[in-house]
Amino acid sequence: MKKLKRNLLIIFVIVGNLLFSQQNETKNFQLKWKDNVNFSINKNLKIKTSLVEGNFIDENLNPSFSEMWEVANGAELTSYFIKNIVFEILTKNSTDLININHIPTKLNLEFNIVKSRNKTFAVLNLTPFLKEGIIIKKIVSFDLEYNLEASKKNRYAKNSTVKNSVLASGDWYKFAIDTSGVYKLDRDFMESLGIDVKSINPKNIQIYGNGGQMLPFKNSDFRFDGLQENAIYVKGEDDNNFDSDDYVLFYAKGPHTWKNIESGNLNEIEHQFNIFSDESYYFITIAGSQGKRIIDNTQILASANQQIATFHDYTFFEKDDVNLFAIGQQWFGDSFSIENIHKYSLPFNNIDSSEDIIVRVRGVAESSIASQMQVKVNNHPLFTVNLPANGGLTKAVANKNSGALQLTGNSVNIEITYNNNGNPSAKAYLDYIEVLGKKKLIASGKQFSFRNFDITNTSGVFEYVIENSSNINWIWNVADAQNPKNILNESTGSNFTFKING
């Protein structure tokens, strides 16, 4: 009898796990619309619009719809689809209340499972409109069917999370950097932070930091679970003293970063300007044990299939001074309202004249008629950024364009002329300029980062060849920013060479 009870218990546990590991749910949504609502953007801007009850408007000043509800803790989304959608065609009076230029032609839906503290939530975001030709339809109801399963981690173990920050104990010293690169921390700098360098063992110096790029807006995107220790180099630590000529070298990531680098396509790469901070912060502590140190990269003994003497690089110019109408996350820089011509010179050393340089410009205009930004590069007319007229709820329109050309030298000179087409009340602002292209691998005595996208999707062994090896002290592989590796010179000549696997 006891044996039978034990078997029944095992069966109940298995059935319970099966029930939790796969859940099929259907949720019905009824959108309660309110028309001709007076909505205050700020004290200077009020609009009349339609809203879904309990919701607000998006960055295009159109009604949005979102809802969040709690689901089984640790659940993961396996599939979902929307069905039984009921639409209502908008009248002419209703379409005047929305920005029809930003109505999608297919259903725009995001559905994710996110975690907050010890709970798990389903989050639905939906654009409640659809455009079919000249007809605009709004959604009044629909069903969402979705499947959840228990996370494998949650089936067998508790989530591993940071309970206490590393900053909770010990003495910590904070400092800021504003650009990605290798930084040198000498004795004077350490003392300026308040560290008693005479009494420390330099082997125990530790630096923590995750870089200063903006945290992702989506909870589902990767982020570090707590501060990470960074591998560093400490000169002169072997004698257990931090002497006057000793120093620390470490790689730090600045506040601004680049997106879509993994694509390996220059046309897809774009910068991300940190709108919240101009600095990244790092932390030093003198621990009770040895810190993480940079190690040498494993050398490749196989012969190279191809030599690489050029690399792809990118730079940008952006100033965040103006927020139109004091709403949203978009900020702009130089004004073209009074002075309609601005000139810029972006450093871009050792340009490879055999390859195209891409120049990309984004601007915004607040004008009742269409206008343009005309872009010249090195006195050569390259492209025009067309800025359509604003109207209805659209108070300003932003647009971007790009062009490519071959250049020589060490800089890219850009002239932007704004043509308001005779509208004296038009206002225009520059958002940013990006320059992307290929450079020659020449060491000039200043640090620089490099990579070559031509070998991204190619197999084999590739050998980088950098001219002027006498100007090179270090080359680090910083693909993993928290764990750089030192690359050794494989040449005895005037060039610095090393191999990588493609």
Domain C-terminal end among 133, 156, 179: 156
Name the more confident of 495 and 327: 495
Range of the domain at 339: 312-439
pLDDT of 298 > 80? The answer is yes
Average pLDDT over residues 145-157: 66
Residues 384 and 430 grouped into a single domain: yes
**Token representation of residue 72:** 């089984």
Query: Nearest CA to 109 among 149, 132, 151, 143?
Result: 143
Name the more confident of 493 and 277: 277
- Which pLDDT value is given to residue 145? 92
Residues 362 and 406 grouped into a single domain: yes
Quickly count: other Cβ atoms within 10 Å of residue 271's Cβ.
17
Per-residue pLDDT band for 106 (boundaries 50, 70, 90) equals confident
Per-residue pLDDT band for 72 (boundaries 50, 70, 90) equals confident
pLDDT single digits (tens) 369-423:
999 999 999 999 999 999 998 866 667 888 999 999 999 999 999 999 999 998 8
Mean pLDDT for the chain overall: 86
- Which pLDDT value is given to residue 10? 33
Domain count of the fold of the chain:
4
**Token representation of residue 383:** 């492209």
Residues 410 and 471 grouped into a single domain: no
Residues 372 and 489 grouped into a single domain: no
- Which pLDDT value is given to residue 139? 93
- Which pLDDT value is given to residue 91? 81
- Which pLDDT value is given to residue 32? 92
- CATH number of the structural domain spanning residue 421: 2.60.120.260
Residues 476 and 405 grouped into a single domain: no
Residues 141 and 30 grouped into a single domain: yes
pLDDT of 176 > 90? The answer is yes
Q: What are the CB-based long-range contacts (under 8 Å, 24+) for 400-403?
A: 400/360, 400/361, 400/362, 400/363, 400/431, 401/360, 401/361, 401/375, 402/267, 402/358, 402/359, 402/360, 402/361, 402/434, 403/358, 403/359, 403/375, 403/377
**Token representation of residue 77:** 């989304």
Name the more confident of 282 and 300: 282
Q: Where are the beta strands (DSSP E) in 260-392?
A: 270-272, 280-286, 295-296, 306-308, 310-318, 341-347, 356-366, 371-377, 380-387
pLDDT single digits (tens) 28-50:
999 999 888 877 766 666 777 88
Residues 29 and 147 grouped into a single domain: yes
- What H or E segment, with its residue span, contains residue 29? strand 23-30
Does pTM surpass 0.75? Answer: no
Residue 490: inside a domain, yes or no? yes
- Which pLDDT value is given to residue 152? 52
**Token representation of residue 299:** 């050398």
Residues 138 and 207 grouped into a single domain: no
* Range in 5-9, 18-22, 327-331 the model is least confident about: 5-9
Residue 235: inside a domain, yes or no? yes
Residue 16: inside a domain, yes or no? no
pLDDT of 86 > 50? The answer is yes
Percent of the chain with pLDDT over 70: 90
**Token representation of residue 250:** 């470490």
Residues 214 and 146 grouped into a single domain: no
Name the more confident of 259 and 430: 430
- Which pLDDT value is given to residue 214? 85
pLDDT of 300 > 50? The answer is yes
Residue 10: inside a domain, yes or no? no
Domain C-terminal end among 263, 293, 323: 293
Per-residue pLDDT band for 2 (boundaries 50, 70, 90) equals very low
The single-letter code of the amino acid at 16 is: G
Name the more confident of 39 and 289: 289
Residues 358 and 376 grouped into a single domain: yes
Of the CA atoms within 13 Å of residue 199, those in its CB half-sphere come to 5
Residues 431 and 458 grouped into a single domain: no
Per-residue pLDDT band for 282 (boundaries 50, 70, 90) equals very high
* Range in 53-67, 272-286, 339-353 the model is least confident about: 53-67
Residue 7: inside a domain, yes or no? no
